Structure 1
């Protein structure tokens, strides 16, 4: 179904946009929440008249959005966070945190107009700020490790792992070397016992004539 949006919904559209959505989403969420109306013939006519009257106002809104975007042109958001030995963050960096960092730089941004993927590892990323349906800007986000000494611990752990590997291999080889020795033992015992049995047999035969 087609809906005329009554407000901006990031990822779907902006106020006065006509968008196509699933019936359930439109009837069960957008319309009951007052976020949109069915794009009927009469609603479209009213929208066209309103847009004509609001043309000057919309132009002013776009100009204001462009000015705000210009303020972020050279801004880089840097966030220091604690990380584990694997470089993973304890927690994550999201739109709310980026908005807080921008506020510290004197740029007040509603987190709802920021879109980005949730960050869980140190590195360089981007957040997109949507000021207007025709005005948006990408802001670089750099996440660095706050606990730098952790890198030394990582190196120490890697060395410890490498040091343990040869010991395990040596132990395995020692076990393999000892195995044939235990297998040979029964044959040696057998070889010693066999001649003794053969030596005793003739002694019995020699005693037979003495009985006569």
Structure 2
């Protein structure tokens, strides 16, 4: 099945890429989650629009990405969440929450779609998240989840 990616898919490609995937993967995962659209001649026109939008959002060059990486890795981001007994959270910390917490901690603006959490964050304590800044640069962000009483 030939598809045009509309969002970044780890291990597959970036927005605007035309990919060939197995029918089940495309039909059951990519299309229902709006991560891709079916390829067509009319869809080819969308590719340029998607690529322009991606270029506007991403960091321009490698030096800027390395500077943002140093800024992110130098700070610990504190995040307050409601938790029950034993430090278990009500819900989980999402990539959107992490992106907002980075900005609130005085860090650079981070696109929530570029934040990857290796395992769901459902407990208090210190956790790590990966932020893809550039094709060649990724930063590891330290997140300190603190329980609140509300």
The aligned counterpart of 2:134 is 132
Contact 1:2–1:20 under 8 Å retained in 2:
yes
1:102 matched to 2:102: yes
Q: Distance in 1 between matches of 2:62 and 2:18?
A: 19
Q: Point out which structure has higher relative CO (alpha carbons under 8 A, 6+ apart).
A: 2
Cα distance in 2 between the residues matched to 1:18 and 1:66: 29
Q: Max radius of gyration: which structure? A: 1
Cα RMSD over matched residues?
Answer: 3.4
Whether 2:21 is the aligned partner of 1:9: answer: no
- TM-score with structure 1 length normalisation? 0.47
Task: Provide structure 2 residue ranges, at least 5 long, that are not aligned to the other structure.
Answer: 45-59
Question: TM-score w.r.t. structure 2 length?
Answer: 0.63
Q: Which one has a larger percent strand, Structure 1 or Structure 2?
A: 2
Runs of 4+ residues over 4 Å off in structure 1: 5-8, 15-20, 24-28
Larger fraction in helix: 1
Task: Please say if residues 10 and 113 of structure 1, whose CA atoms lie closer than 8 Å, have aligned partners that are also in contact.
Answer: no
Partner residue, 1:65: 65
What is the CA distance between 1:108 and its match in structure 2? 1.0
Aligned residues, how many? 125
